[in-house]
Amino acid sequence: VQLQASGGGSVQTGGSLRLSCAASGSIFSIDAMSWYRQAPGKQREFVARITSGGSTNYADSVKGRFTISRDNAKNTEYLQMNSLKAEDTAVYYCNADVRTRGSRWFNDYWGQGTLVTVSS
């Protein structure tokens, strides 16, 4: 299973970006999908999560500005980021709980990360 994140880039304060993360491989089903981020010199932190049924939760720091969504038919999750701030600058990583074909269990997979830079 591979998770391919895309959509990062440079944007000015107050701008918007939309990240995507597509899962591919021998996938039977995907449970929760999430986004995390890691700023320079800091630990990786949780950003947002969406269940297979569409329930969402967010870090307090992004509530009201970021929206997580998913397209189950495409095994893809999205992160719409609005009103971006300098402190949102980080490498953003996608994560998914995937059950592969022939397996009874869900395992945790990570994407390679995509850099978001917000400047004034």
Burial string for 79-98 (b: 16+ CB within 10 Å, else e) reads bebeebeeebbbbbbbbbbb
**Structure tokens that stand for 98 in this block:** 């995937």
Place of tokens 């992004």: 62
**What is the tens place of the pLDDT at every residue in 60-111?**
999 999 999 999 999 999 999 999 999 999 999 999 999 999 999 999 999 9
**What is the tens place of the pLDDT at every residue in 38-62?**
999 999 999 999 999 999 999 999 9
